[in-house]
Structure 1
Amino acid sequence: MAKRKRLTLPPEAPAPETKGMFTEAPTGIVPGRRAKSAPIADMAGAAAASAALEEVSAELSAARAEGRFVQKLRTTQIDAGHLMRDRVIIDSGDMDTLMASIRSRGQQTPVEVLATGPDTYGLISGWRRLAALARLYEETNDPQFAYVHALVRQPASAQDAYVAMVEENEIRVGLSYYERAQIVARTVQAGVYDSDKTALQTLFSSASRAKRSKIKSFLPIVSALGDVLHHPTAIGERMGLDLSQRLEDAAFAKSLRAKLAKSDGKTPEEEQNVLSGALAVRATKPAIKPKLDSKEELAPGVVMMRGPSGLTLKGPGVTDALADRLRALFKDE
């Protein structure tokens, strides 16, 4: 078998260099830097980033406009009395419990407000939470309690704002029937609604017909006694229905108002006693005297009067002898 011939370089050819072969960078390549990506790739990346930023910005704007964006506001920026409140009193025990919860876990549920100016807001719902934070800040001077988490709503009308307030309280803490009736009466007085019926059906549209009927029955109590009652939330359903019926009597209403004003109602029990005592006294109607249809003189000294209950004989001539004669007459009959 023929041997393979080993190839060698010609003598005049220089030997290949193994070092410093690329001491100069190839054309178009800058030493120490990466090769630039194509311009179209840069444009595509920038466009994608810009689109993502615009999408996030649009979503945040929509969330803010729709009241889904929780904002951190100073409690002093919020007017707690912007709407007439439906709650008459706050139980001290419930408030203490709420304050303890916020102190240990922070505010868990945002309040609802509406913008009334560049940096001012009116409270829609969450009065207890706002009050609890204000008290905590007053007691501790801790800056964390100087702020409240809030959803800034944009209700279409005052009616929508009141509905939001009532519905939140109906869900979270049930109101008394008096408190429910009072917010109905107050919104009508303020011109938010044109009648008790409209206010009742709008504010408590989610309530049953029976519940709305009970609220309606407390409206006369709010109207007739609202300014002289000190503990109206203590009035139970049964007593409220009785009062509502009795207050149709103007004399009863006037008398009860005087008794309540005189008693001063220092405690709920004292006021309840006044109301119970008034309800226990039933109006007595004077006895109706029978109306006589006719009057006739039967004989000298004897007058016969005929009425619904029968015949009546009167006069000096009605003697024992006449009575005996009448008995004998009826006996013979």
Structure 2
Amino acid sequence: MAKRRRLAPANTDFLAEAPTPSIFPEPRRAPPIADVAGQASATAAMEEMSETLRRAREDGRMVLELPIAEVVPDYLVRDRLNVDEGEMEVLMASIRQRGQQTPIEVAPLPDGRYGLISGWRRLRAISRLAEAGEAEPVVLAFLRKPEQASDAYLAMVEENEIRVGLSYYERARIALRAVEQGVYEDEREALRSLYHAASRAKRSKIGSFLTLVKLLDGILLFPEAIGERTGLILAKELEHAPAIAQVIARHIQADPPKFAVEEMDRINAALGELARANKPTKQSLKRKTGTDITRTIRPGLQVVRHHKGGKLTVKGNAVDENLAADLIAWLVERDQK
């Protein structure tokens, strides 16, 4: 029996127009080795970029965005004791309006957190803004890796000296605390290292304030408000009579001052009390006719009565031309009566 032929749709391919030749040659497909080379090049570029970013991070050239909770503010013994509230408000207003312009400096800690080296005021300002809901709880920071603890302390001191300036008491306090932490062997090395840019005279004055820190730290409420001249006079008095610190503490604890000027009143009252206690009586004068008698009028002003030669000496840092002129005028007036 004959097989039937199946019908199939007509093939129209032979009716299509011949392709128009192009003036551009057809692109050749890249061989497999080219794909491998391209991938290797891209991988090398990514590795180079990653290495560059890693070095920038470790060298402290990359700004990090860190959660405030991961920054340990008391990583170092801070040099600043108090911050003026007016200055803090100005800083907060600046950050609120323009954001954080200058990163803080931190050091990596073994537990994954970061220890604050410098930028305590900025960190505090951002923390307060974050607590009020006016800023994100993050801070911009540079990563530092100090080889020694002394490098970290030096960075902190230099930061504050440049930006705000430290009082003599604060300078002396951080030097003493660094010695106590074992960062430096002695006070002299600490002063020379931390304040290497200061003159020898300035380092000497800071060294004088060490006496105040040793005897009055924790007693004074506004120690950073003690000026250079007042501090040097008080340091000299404390060197001669360390017991003055106990009298000052008693006056401050009996009536705690609310302001720095009130604290100075307590200090002067304590010194006045000691001066009155040391005032020689007539009987003691008779018993000590063979010795010189010294009376402290106030800090920086002493009168010495010499037992020979009828001589009276007025000495101290408070003696200047004005005092000498007033004293001479009083003697002239007294002699004319």
Structure 1 residues 272 and 34: CA distance shift in structure 2, 3 A: same
State the partner residue of 1:252.
Answer: 244
State the partner residue of 2:173.
Answer: 182
Question: In 2, Cα distance between the equivalents of 1:197 and 1:125?
Answer: 24
Local SS of the residue matching 1:156: coil
Q: 1:197 aligns with which of 188, 191, 195?
A: 188
**Residue 187 of structure 1, CA deviation:** 1.4
* Pair 1:241-2:232 in alignment: yes
State the partner residue of 2:322.
Answer: none
Question: In 2, Cα distance between the equivalents of 1:129 and 1:35?
Answer: 61
Runs of 4+ in 1 over 6 A off after TM superposition: 38-41
Aligned-pair RMSD on alpha carbons? Answer: 2.8
TM-score, length of structure 2 as denominator length: 0.71
Structure 1 residues 270 and 23: CA distance shift in structure 2, 3 A: closer
**Residue 149 of structure 1, CA deviation:** 0.6
Question: In 2, Cα distance between the equivalents of 1:20 and 1:184?
Answer: 95
* Pair 1:125-2:112 in alignment: no
Local SS of the residue matching 2:171: helix
Structure 1 residues 34 and 178: CA distance shift in structure 2, 3 A: same
State the partner residue of 2:289.
Answer: 289
* Pair 1:86-2:79 in alignment: yes
Q: 1:158 aligns with which of 132, 140, 149?
A: 149
Between structure 1 and structure 2, the one with the greater Rg is 1
Structure 2 unmatched runs, 5+ = 1-15, 292-307, 310-337
Q: 1:226 aligns with which of 195, 203, 217?
A: 217
**Residue 262 of structure 1, CA deviation:** 2.8
Q: Which amino acid in 1 is paired with 2:76? A: L
Asked if 1 retains the 8 angstrom alpha-carbon contact of 2:215 and 2:242, the reply is no
Per-residue CA deviations over 1:229-262 (Å, capped at 9, x if unaligned) read 0111111110001011110123434433333333
TM-score, length of structure 1 as denominator length: 0.72
Structure 1 residues 132 and 253: CA distance shift in structure 2, 3 A: closer
Q: 1:215 aligns with which of 206, 225, 236?
A: 206
Local SS of the residue matching 2:106: strand
Number of corresponding residues: 267
**Residue 211 of structure 1, CA deviation:** 1.9
Structure 1 residues 57 and 255: CA distance shift in structure 2, 3 A: same
Q: Which amino acid in 1 is paired with 2:107? A: L
Question: In 1, Cα distance between the equivalents of 2:271 and 2:252?
Answer: 13
Asked if 1 retains the 8 angstrom alpha-carbon contact of 2:103 and 2:141, the reply is yes
Q: Which amino acid in 1 is paired with 2:212? A: I
Structure 1 unmatched runs, 5+ = 1-18, 292-307, 310-333
Question: In 2, Cα distance between the equivalents of 1:98 and 1:176?
Answer: 20
Question: In 1, Cα distance between the equivalents of 2:217 and 2:111?
Answer: 37
State the partner residue of 1:327.
Answer: none
